[in-house]
Structure 1
Amino acid sequence: MLYGKALRDRIASAGTTPLIGVHDMYSASLAARHYDGLFVSGFGFAASHYGLPDIGFIAWPDMVAFAERLRGAFPRHHLLVDIDDGYGDPELACHVVRRLERAGLSGVVLEDQKRPRRCGHADGKQVLPLDEYLEKLDQVLASRTDLLVVARTDATDEGDILIRAKALAATDADVVLVDGVRSVEAIRRIRGVVGGKPLLFNQIAGGKSPRLSLTELAALGVDVAVYSTPCLFAAHRAMEEAMTGLKSADGRLPAAEDGGSIGVGDATMMLTENLHRHSMR
């Protein structure tokens, strides 16, 4: 199966294609029951795998291993992976891309940040000179055969954003992403300079970008919507509440029907269904 082509075809269809951020296999199992497209964000992976912030700690073999497990578990889903800056020099970025393509991933996101890098919705981001990033991007594009590539800029100056977005749209990248877009009007300006190239919008709770529905995004000409952290933040909130409740109850577990959470039977049933579904693929 050509996973890159399948995602391109989906993006080219009407409306805005949603990709849901997952951070581990359990969150992926839940998200995959509701959506056919998954996204692995650097923010979520750094938090879940290392317990660290998204400032460049990810080692590429860890991300590749997780992506391989995802593809094995979800053979029919679109899988887009954030590879940050390619984890170093262009040669390493190309190696990672080739590994992910062999594993059957649908696509990758490659950013233009320089180290020390930051979450795309954090302050203090710095970007590479445009020509240096374009050289890395060209090498990555030349190293793939089918894999979809999202060219991402983390520029924050309005003029630089438009210059870079236009330059990225002129490459052979499949999709353009400007991360941390701050307004609807900014989306319109970016849409105007990228021409017919597909445009991706990244939403993260508490981030710098406006919260928009898929209908609103489609009206703005956005082709792909990535939801980076809904599973991670929901898990954070639920676990914090569970620990607070357990402590206040002197260690007595609430009944499942009282605690508002699933019980072991429900969780086991869901995981058993997933196992059966994957074994039948």
Structure 2
Amino acid sequence: MAQAKGAAKLRQWLSDPDKIVVAPGVHDGLTARMALSVGFDALYMTGAGTAVSRLGQPDLGLTSVDDMATNAGMIAGLDRDVPVIADADTGFGGPLMVARTTEKYILQGVAGFHLEDQITTKRCGHLLGKELVDVNTYTARIKAAAHARERMGQDIVIIARTDALQSLGYDEAILRLKAAVAAGADVAFLEGMDSKEQMSKVVKELAPTPCFLNMVGGGVTPLINSKEAKELGFKIVIWPMVGMTSVYLATREFCRELKETGEIKDRHDKDGKIDGGVRDVFEVCGLSKCSEFDKEMGGSSFLKGA
């Protein structure tokens, strides 16, 4: 089943002592296709990126479960051999809603997702003023997700995230993660770590539970490379800003050029060919594969080319 394929592969990697999963953050079809084209073996659907791309709004809990699940499913459907890990925010409500969210993510083919302990009107983990639910409310979310997974006979990876570090302190954050694992979570995710020493300590204290690392440019956590992350013992590391940052910088540059000069000049690659033209974009999104499939199936739509 498509729903189980990505989850099974992700679980296999989590049990492999030599494997670390490095996933770039993507938020739409094009950023996902670009990540796939350079060979990443896993993708991360960012909730912040979903908010900014689908709604044009900041990451302040404005997305619905349908916004998130639909976007995650589209990304997961581009290549079923590449597991997609997705942000599921707070689960969008109480246990009933969390169970429904879990079902939606499973049906969309998501391999793993993370649930956090902020209040339902949440915000990006690297913004100020986060408010948290109590530990019982948090573990009820995890239990509901684990129950829905079991009821559906699926194996989606549940990642427990806590944002308690800044407001409640390290000990409370670790307590919450251990409680979440006891409630059915497979992976622990401490958001907002502020030093390499703290990163190392978390992995050791939560062993043998696999740990998840979030690398946010401009955030509170020091940026380290995947080799360092592996040496510290992390099993999954995401770079959620990859798609957002690249789109932000490039679109700003091109819009300024068009506004100031009245045109956008072609960019050329190292061989002097135009880079980033319309056919390049279509090709990375599967133009040739689509036309080849049509021909193999006996279609005639692209006999004169595309």
- Alignment TM class, shorter chain as reference: over 0.9
- List aligned pairs for 1:179-194, cutoff 5 A: 179-194=191-206
Q: State how 1:155-170 maps to structure 2 within 5 Å.
A: 155=164, 156=166, 157-170=169-182
| Alpha-carbon shift at residue 274 of structure 1 (Å) | 5.9
Q: Does 1:94 align with 2:99?
A: yes
Task: After superposing the two structures, state which structure 1 stretch, 9-18 or 240-249, moved more.
Answer: 9-18
- 1:138-183: CA deviations, max 9, x gaps? 1111110311100110112223222223333434211000111111
RMSD of aligned alpha carbons: 2.0
Matched, 1:266 2:269: no
Which residue is equivalent to 1:22?
Answer: 26
Q: Which residue of 2 aligns with 1:118?
A: 123
> SS in structure 2 opposite 1:231?
helix
- For 2:224 and 2:61, locate their aligned partners in 1 and report how far apart those are by CA, in whole Å: 28
* Matching residue of 2:110: 105
The one-letter amino acid paired with 1:264 is V
Deviation digits for residues 102-136 of structure 1, max 9, x if unmatched? 22211111111114311011111121111211122
1:217-256 Cα distance to aligned partner (Å, 9 max, x none): 111111110111111111100000111111121x122123
Equivalent residue for 2:188? 176
Could you tell me whether the CA contact under 8 Å between 2:142 and 2:184 is conserved in 1?
no
Q: Gaps (5+ residues) in structure 2?
A: 297-306
Contact 1:73 1:278 in 2 (8 A): no
Once the 2 structures are TM-superposed, how far is the Cα of residue 98 of structure 1 from its aligned partner?
0.9
Q: Measure the CA separation in 2 of the matches of 1:36 and 1:130.
A: 34
TM-score when normalising by structure 2 = 0.85
Measured at CA, do residues 248 and 40 of structure 1 come closer, stay the same or move farther in structure 2, by a change above 3 Å?
same
Question: Within 2, Cα distance between the matches of 1:69 and 1:265?
Answer: 22
Partner SS for 1:226: strand
Task: State how far apart, in whole Å, the 1-side matches of 2:243 and 2:139 are.
Answer: 33
Secondary structure of the structure 1 residue equivalent to 2:92: coil
Structure 1 position 202, deviation (Å):
0.6
- 2: distance between equivalents of 1:195 and 1:169? 11
Match of 2:52 among 43, 47, 50: 47
Does structure 1 residue 152 correspond to structure 2 residue 170?
Answer: no
State the shift of 1:273 in Å.
4.2
Change (3 A) 1:189 1:277: farther
Find the aligned partners of 1:278 and 1:149 in 2 and give their Cα distance. Answer: 36
Identity, in percent, stands at: 27
Matched, 1:256 2:256: no
Deviations 1:255-280 (Å, cap 9, x if unpaired)?
Answer: 2339x951223223323146469989
Q: Please identify the structure whose Cα radius of gyration is greater.
A: 2
Of structures 1 and 2, the one scoring higher in RCO (CA 8 A, sep 6+) is: 1
Relative to structure 2, which stretch is displaced further, 214-223 or 9-18? 9-18
- Structure 1: which 5+ runs fail to align? none
Matches within 5 A, 1:213-224: 213-224=225-236
Matches within 5 A, 1:69-88: 69-88=74-93
Instruction: For 2:264 and 2:20, locate their aligned partners in 1 and report how far apart those are by CA, in whole Å.
Output: 42
